[in-house]
Amino acid sequence: MLLIISGPSGVGKTTITRAIERSELGSVFSVSVTTRPKTREDCDGVDYRFVTDAEFDAMVERDELLEHANVFGHKYGTPRAWVQQHLDQGRLVILEIDVQGATQVKAKLPDAYAIFVLPPSEASLLERLRARKREDEAAIQRRFAEAKREMEQARSGGVYDAFVVNSDRERAIDEVRDLVRAARAARAGSARVSE
């Protein structure tokens, strides 16, 4: 099954995604390609696969990306062949992508299961963005404005199968895990019925 997890910056989606990857047998986290600069904390091939603008554009031209987007001046995309290879092996492939990417993926693979992680409130999201201490206030405000737009787009776009509010990390992880297990079980049941 292809699982999409989305949510605004600072909502805790990476923590949830990694917890699902650890807890679900046969799951793999899809590593996106990006043109953004590698930071000291980044591990190439684990966090992202870092490429040049020209390499990225060539991948788009060859239709090698399942989805791609330009976010805050950098390009991000999901390699199609890698995802398909793991789906063919019966794995749970996890994509952590934005609403724009989720919309592209669902158009190509409508069976993908998509979950959007929401903050308990806009004020708490702004606090979380500030607490990360990664950016100045102007950048935080840009991310916050984008987050509000993205949440509205997620609610109205019809792309997401479920919404989970992350007011308590462990409870949110449990809720996402339960949703994923139910979706996988339903698909396994329908596959048996059609055989």
Q: d(Cα 81, Cα 60) in Å, to the nearest integer?
A: 13
Q: What's the confidence (pLDDT) of residue 39?
A: 85
Name the packing angle between helices 169-194 and 13-23 (round to 10°): 50
- Do residues 4 and 20 lie in contact, with contact meaning Cβ atoms separated by under 8 Å? no
Domain count along the chain: 1
Alpha-helical regions (H) of the chain: 13-23, 53-61, 80-88, 99-108, 122-131, 137-156, 169-194
Can you give the pLDDT at residue 191? 59
Residues 109, 155 contacting (CB under 8 angstroms): no
According to the model, what pLDDT value does residue 193 have?
A: 52
User: The domain spanning residue 118 has which CATH number?
Assistant: 3.40.50.300
Which pLDDT score, from 0 to 100, does residue 192 have? Answer: 56
| CA angle 145–146–149, rounded 5-degree value | 90
Rounded Cα–Cα distance for residues 12 and 43 (Å) = 20
Q: For residue 10, what are its two tokens?
A: 């600072």
Which residue bears the tokens 């992350």? 166
The enclosing H or E element of 77 equals strand 74-79
- Token output for 171: 């409870």
Query: Which domain does 168 fall in, by range?
Result: 2-194
* Cα 15 to the center of its chain, rounded Å: 11
Per-residue pLDDT of the chain (195 residues; tens, 9 = 90+): 999 999 998 899 999 999 999 999 999 999 889 999 988 888 888 878 999 999 999 999 999 999 998 877 899 999 999 999 999 999 999 999 989 999 999 999 999 999 999 999 999 989 988 988 888 899 899 989 989 999 999 999 999 999 999 999 999 999 999 999 999 999 887 655 554
> How is residue 90 annotated by DSSP?
T
- What's the confidence (pLDDT) of residue 2? 97
Give which of 10, 16, 3 is closest to 171, Cα–Cα: 16
Q: What is the DSSP string of 21-57?
A: HHHSTTEEEPPPEE-SPPPTT--BTTTBEE--HHHHH
Look at residue 163 in the predicted model and tell me its pLDDT. 98
